[in-house]
Amino acid sequence: MIVMGVESSCDETGVGIVRWHGDGSCELLADEVASSVDQHARFGGVVPEIASRAHLEAIGPTMRRALAAAGIGKPDAIAVTIGPGLAGALLVGVAAAKAYAAAWDIPLYALNHLGGHVAVDTLEHGPMPPAVALLVSGGHTHLLQVSELAAPIVELGSTVDDAAGEAFDKVARLLGLGYPGGPALDSAATQGDPQAIAFPRGMTGPRDPLFDFSFSGLKTAVARYVESAQREGRPIPIPDVAASFQEAVADVLTLKAIRAVRETGVDTLVLGGGATANSRIRSLAEERCTAAGIRLRVPKPRLCTDNGVMIATLGAHVIAGGAEPSDLSVATDPGLPVSVSRLP
Ligand code: ATP
Ligand code: MG
Ligand code: FE
């Protein structure tokens, strides 16, 4: 079975194609991504209208390139991100997927983008055992309990304010590191001392919820640090601020993820979402999982950020699980909760 995945929830137009192997693993046949990130740079964030227009221009050519790369005329099924994401951006991918499903007379599966961020790991590391997933992206920060990828995901906790990726982007902007902020901050941090400034670890007190996160206090602490340095005419040690901020985020994320693995009695932690491309989140997760005897699964950075392959991979699991296809009248849901894996 060959499945095509279409992704257009934010600023990446992604079309991926995978072959399902029947044992819970998939093989990557094509992974084409067109990004409008450069068009948003001067605004310092994704402009929904621009993203939608860019998807409209990119979707056809990206689809063509993916088919050519896979060397196929058409797939056996098509999976598409139905939410969460930007309303106008989602519409473009969904409209295209519906048109191709109708023209090719193949089934359509309307899937949750966040499930794709978790499922994509099976491409590199094979079938997924019961696991805790730490999902860290531009719009979401969740701890999830995953039994089967085709089944609904159980939410253990999430951020009560900013997403971690959003905090990376805002702090990077504050430090003048440009856009997109996450990768820029990651590279600035390599020159800095992660212990230089003791930034707060939100929601880690004895009375705080075990699996929830808060990053707005951390963001404010960085802003105050920068303001006071400016007021006093001190130079801002950008690499140290970046490294110390990044350390605070990685510390809290991995601390709570390991706690969740212990509490749920599984032995595997899987990372997913754009911000898990971050070098320190990856290395600290590795260190702490090794120390705790937990198996860690981390997709390569390219597969952590948005792409079509993750939707194709989730689609293959959902189809193999016996799900009914979605109706061609299915509507997008920009606020789709993580616990709803697909729409009928
Ligand atoms: P969501 O998946 O929540 O809908 P999204 O799809 O916009 O959000 P992703 O593409 O999954 O987000 O992730 C983008 C986020 O990842 C951005 O906030 C970006 O700054 C962050 N990011 C990417 N690379 C890195 C990195 N190396 N370090 C830190 N953050 C990073
Ligand atoms: Mg993006
Ligand atoms: Fe995403």
Ligand 1 neighbourhood includes 282 CB (under 6 angstroms): no
- Domains in the chain: ranges and CATH: 2-124+303-343 (3.30.420.40), 131-298 (3.30.420.40)
- Cα(85)–Cα(91) distance, rounded to whole angstroms? 10
Q: Extract the annotated binding site for substrate.
A: 135-139, 169, 182, 186, 278
Ligand 1 neighbourhood includes 131 CB (under 6 angstroms): no
**Residues near ion ligand 2 (Cβ under 5 Å):** 10-12
Phi, psi of 280 (to 5 degrees): -75, -35
Decide: pTM greater than 0.90: yes
How confident is the model over 94-105, as pLDDT tens digits?
999 999 999 999
Burial 197-223 (b: 16+ CB within 10 A, else e): bebebbbeeeeeeebbbbbeebbebbe
What value of ipTM does the predicted structure carry?
A: 0.96
10 pLDDT above the threshold of 90: yes
Q: Extract the annotated binding site for Fe cation.
A: 113, 117, 306
151 pLDDT above the threshold of 90: no
Ligand 1 neighbourhood includes 140 CB (under 6 angstroms): yes
Whether the bond into 337 is cis, omega within 30 of 0: no
- Cα(79)–Cα(111) distance, rounded to whole angstroms? 7
Instruction: For residue 39, give the H/E element and its range.
Output: helix 37-40
For residue 57, which of 72, 30, 73, 39 has the smallest C-alpha distance?
39
Side chain identity, residue 243: A
193 pLDDT above the threshold of 90: yes
288 pLDDT above the threshold of 90: yes
What residues have CB less than 8 Å from 283, skipping those under 6 apart? none
- Cα(173)–Cα(327) distance, rounded to whole angstroms? 42
Which listed ligand is nearest to 273 at the C-alpha? 1
- Nearest ligand 1 atom to alpha carbon 306: 10
- Cα(81)–Cα(149) distance, rounded to whole angstroms? 15
How confident is the model over 83-136, as pLDDT tens digits?
999 999 999 999 999 999 999 999 999 999 999 999 999 999 999 999 999 999
What is the Å distance from ligand 2's center to 152 Cα? 25
**Strand pairing of 295-297 and 268-272?**
parallel
The residue whose C-alpha atom lies closest to atom 17 belonging to ligand 1 is 138
